[in-house]
Amino acid sequence: MSADLAVSTTHVVIAPMLVALVTAVATLATRRHDRLQRALSLLGVGAYAVGVAVLADRVLSGGTLTYQLSAWPAPFGISLVADALAAFMLSLAALVTVALLVFSVVYVDEQGQRVSYHPLFHFMLLGVSGSFLTGDVFNLFVWFEVMLMPSYVFVAFYSGPRHTAAALQYTVLNLFGSALMLVSIGGLYATTGTLNMADIARRLAAPAEFGIDPAPVLGLSTILLVVFALKAGIVPFHFWVPPAYRAAPAPVSAFLAGVTKKVGIYAIVRLYFTVFAAGAVEGGLGLPALSGESFLAFFGPVLFAMALASMLVGGVGAVSRDALDDVFAYSSISQVGFIVLPLAVVATVSDPALRTLGVVAALVYSLNHAVAKSLLFLVSGTVYDATGTIEFERLGGLTTRFPVLSGSFFVGSLALVGIPPLSGFFGKLLVLDTGGRALAAGTPGAGLALAGALAGAIFTIAYLSRTWSQGFWGEVTPLVEHGSQSSVLVGVVAALALVVVAVGIGFDPVYSFAESAARAALDTDAYVDAVDPGVVARE
Amino acid sequence: MTLDRKPTVIARTVTRLVVPMILVTAIALLLQGHNLPGGGFIAGVLTVTAFALVYIIYGLDYLETELLDRTPAVRYETESGIVREYGRVFASGLAVAAGSGVAAMVLGYPFLTQAVAFLEHLPVYGELEVASALVFDLGVYAVVVGALLTILAEVGAE
C-alpha cells in the first residue's frame, strides 16, 4: 500500500503534460462549438498553471521528483525529472502562456480559431513542458518535434506569400536541425550505450569503467549545441528568427520568443552544465587557445563567441528596422546573447559560487526576457488590432490615443533596458555582476564580456528609444486617429506590465527560486542520484 | 481529377484484389504489434496505402459515392464531407491513446503502464493473449489513419 501511495504522489510530475495533452484533445474534439472550445482552452491553461504551481511547490519544499513512465525502471524506461530547474522553466512558461491564451481568444479571428488554433497551441505547450521535464535525450528530441510541428503551422497561419516563404524557410531549417539532433543522439547512444541523461552523466564521470571514449562524445555534443543554438536563435543560427516572428500571429510570436527560445536555453543548461559537465578529455583538448580537460572548457569559449556575436548582430539589426515586430525579433536575438553570456563566462571558471551566480543570471534574464518580450509582441499585436499596421511610417502619436497601451510598452522596454525596479534591472545586474566577479577572479575574456554586455545594453537603449519616438510619439497619423483598441487586449498587456513591475519589486522569492534552480542544474550527483539509473546494476 | 484517361482494366482489377489483402495485413500487424514487428503506426500507414490505391485508381469521389452511397461534398471548402470524418477519427484516436495512459493512473500505476492477460482453454482458439498495449496501438492507428487520409484527401483535391 505504501508503494502505491508513493506512486500516486508523484503523479504531479506528469500533471502539466497531461493537462496540456487532454486540453489539446478536448479542444480538437470541440472544434465545431466555438464558445465551448474557447472555454475549454482557457480552462486548460488555467489548470496547467495550477498544475505547474503545485509541482513547483512540491519540488521546492521536497526536492527533486522523478517519474518512470510505464513503470519501466531507469535507464530503460523514460524518466521524467522535475527538479528546481525544470520547475523554474515550467513556471516561466505557465506565467506567459496564460496571458497569451487570453490574448489569443480575442485577437485571433473567428475563422482562425476554428482552424485548429487552440489544439495546436496546447500541443506546443505540451512539447515545451515535455522538453523541460524529460530525463532522456531521445525523448527530448521527441518533445522538440511536438513543440516544432504546431509552430510550423503557426508561422504559415495567415498563408500569405510572405508567411508561406517564412514558414518554408523555418520548416526546412528546423527539419535540418532535427536531423542533426537525431544523428548526434544516435551517436551518443552508440558511444555511451545509454539515452538516459542521468546515466550518460554517470558513465561520463567514470569513462574507463564503462569503456567509453569521451572524445567522440564531445564532438557529438557539439553537434547538439548547433541544434540548441538554432532553436534559441543564437548567432550564427539566428537568420530564421525575424521572418518567422513577423509572419506568426502576435501571441504566437510572443510564445516563440518568450517560451520556445527558452527551451533551447534550458537544453543548453541541462545538457552542458548538468550532464556533459561530468565529462573530460584526458590530456587536454588539443585545440589552440583552449586549455583544460573538461567539456565545459571547450563549450565556454564557443558559447562566449556566439553570445557576443548575438548581442551585437541583434543590436545592430534592431536599430535599423522599420516595423515593431522586426525590431522585437532582432531584439530577441540580442537578448538571447545576454542570457548565454553569463553561462559562457562561468563555463570556464572553477569557483562553484561564481558558476551558480552565472546560471542564476541566465535564468533570471530568461524570465525577464520571457515576460517583457511577450509583452512587447502583444503590444505590437494590439497596435495592429487597433490601427491595422505596425510600420513606423504609418504610426505616430500612439501615446495620445492609447495611453495605457503606450505605458505598457514603455514599462516593457524599460525592463529590457534594465531600469530599476523592473525585472530587467536584476537580470542585467546579475549578468554584469557575473562578468565583474569573473574579471576580479582573473578569468580570461571577462573584460571583453563586460564590454560586450555594455555595448549590447547601449544598443538596447538605442533601438527601443527609436521605436518609442517613431511609433509612439510624434504627430497622430490618420490610422492611429481612426483606430480603436480592444479593452481585453489592452488589459492583458497591462497585466503583463504589472507582472514585470511585480517581479522587480518582489524580487526576493524569484531570486531564491532561480538560485535553487541553478544549484539543481549544477549538481550532477544529485541529479544522477534522483534518477538512480544504476538500480539494475546493483541488484 | 480529369477523367480523360481512365486507369486500365488491369489496374482496376488488381486494386480490387489487393485492397482487402492490404487491409487484412494491416489488421494483423496491428494485433501483433505489442510483441512482434508491427504496431499501430505501421498498420495505419498500410491501411492508408489501401485507401490511396482506391483514390488513385477509382478517383476521389468513389469512396463516398459507391461505398458510403451519398453525394460527395463540394471541394475547396475547408473540412467538408469525408475530411471532417477523417478529422474525427484523428481526434478520437488521440483520445483513446491518451486515455489508455490515464487509465493506468486511475488504477494507481504510472502513466502508460501496460498489463497483459492470457485467456486459456478457449473453444476453437485455444490460448489468447490480451494486452492492454493494444488499446494504445489502436489509438495510434486511428491517429495515423485520420491524419494521413486528411492530407491525402485535401492535397489530392487541389
CB contact set of A509 (below 8 Å; sequence gap of 6+): none
Residues in chain A within 8 Å Cβ distance of B78: 115
The set of cell numbers assigned to A95 is 506565467
* Chain B contact for A180 (CB, 8 A cutoff): no
Report yes or no: B109 and A71 within 8 Å, Cβ to Cβ: yes
CB contact under 8 A, B111 and A68: no
Closest residue to B94, CB basis, from A7, A28, A71 = A28
Report yes or no for ipTM above 0.90.
no
Residue A252's pLDDT band, with cuts at 50, 70 and 90, is very high
Of all residues in chain B, the percent with pLDDT exceeding 90 is 37
In this prediction, residue B143 carries a pLDDT of 94
CB contact set of A486 (below 8 Å; sequence gap of 6+): A106, A107, A382, A385, A386
The set of cell numbers assigned to A5 is 501511495
Cα–Cα distance, B94 to B136 (Å, whole number): 9
Closest residue to A25, CB basis, from B95, B108, B113 = B95
CB contact under 8 A, A70 and B91: no
Closest chain B CA to residue A4: B108
Q: Cell 494590439 appears where?
A: A382
Residues in chain A within 8 Å Cβ distance of B95: 25, 29
In this prediction, residue A490 carries a pLDDT of 94
In this prediction, residue A184 carries a pLDDT of 95
Segments making up each domain of chain B, as ranges: 9-157
Q: Is the pLDDT of residue B75 over 80?
A: no
Q: Is the pLDDT of residue A285 over 90?
A: no
Q: Is the pLDDT of residue B70 over 80?
A: no
In this prediction, residue A88 carries a pLDDT of 97
CB contact under 8 A, A25 and B91: yes
Q: Where are the beta strands (DSSP E) in A134-280?
A: none
Q: Is the pLDDT of residue A165 over 50?
A: yes
Which residues does B contribute to its contact with A (CB < 8 Å)?
78, 87, 90-92, 94-95, 98, 102, 104-105, 108-114
Report yes or no: A245 and A151 within 8 Å, Cβ to Cβ: no
CB contact under 8 A, B109 and A7: yes
Cα–Cα distance, A334 to A339 (Å, whole number): 9
Report yes or no: A451 and A438 within 8 Å, Cβ to Cβ: no
Cα(first)–Cα(last) distance of chain B, in Å? 9
pLDDT digits (tens, 9 = 90+) for B31-56: 988 888 888 999 999 999 999 999 88
pLDDT digits (tens, 9 = 90+) for A493-538: 999 999 999 999 999 999 999 999 999 999 999 999 998 887 555 4
Cα–Cα distance, A432 to A429 (Å, whole number): 5
Residues in chain A within 8 Å Cβ distance of B151: none
Averaged pLDDT for residues B9-13: 91
pLDDT digits (tens, 9 = 90+) for A182-202: 999 999 999 999 999 999 999
| Residue among B85, B96, B111 with most chain A CBs within 10 A, to mutate | B111
Averaged pLDDT for residues A297-322: 92
Our CA angle for A506, A511, A516, nearest 5°, is 140
Q: A164-168, A401-405, A447-451, B72-76: lowest mean pLDDT where?
A: B72-76
Q: What does the mean pLDDT of chain A come to?
A: 90
- Residue A389: phi, psi to the nearest 5? -150, 155
Report yes or no: A130 and A142 within 8 Å, Cβ to Cβ: yes
* Chain B contact for A8 (CB, 8 A cutoff): yes
Residues in chain A within 8 Å Cβ distance of B90: 28
In this prediction, residue A538 carries a pLDDT of 43
* Chain B contact for A378 (CB, 8 A cutoff): no
Q: Where are the beta strands (DSSP E) in A188-316?
A: none
Residue B120's pLDDT band, with cuts at 50, 70 and 90, is confident
Give the three-class secondary structure for B116. strand
In this prediction, residue B77 carries a pLDDT of 55
pLDDT digits (tens, 9 = 90+) for A30-54: 888 889 999 999 999 999 999 999 9
* Chain B contact for A149 (CB, 8 A cutoff): no
CB contact under 8 A, A70 and B110: yes
CA distances to B41, B73, B151 from B154, in Å: 21, 12, 5
CB contact under 8 A, A14 and B92: no
Cα–Cα distance, A387 to A453 (Å, whole number): 36
Averaged pLDDT for residues A120-140: 96
Report yes or no: A266 and A132 within 8 Å, Cβ to Cβ: yes
Segments making up each domain of chain A, as ranges: 287-523
Cα–Cα distance, B65 to A61 (Å, whole number): 63
Calculate how close chain A gets to B89, using CA atoms only, in Å.
10
Q: A52-56, A325-329, A419-423: lowest mean pLDDT where?
A: A419-423
CB contact under 8 A, A69 and B110: yes
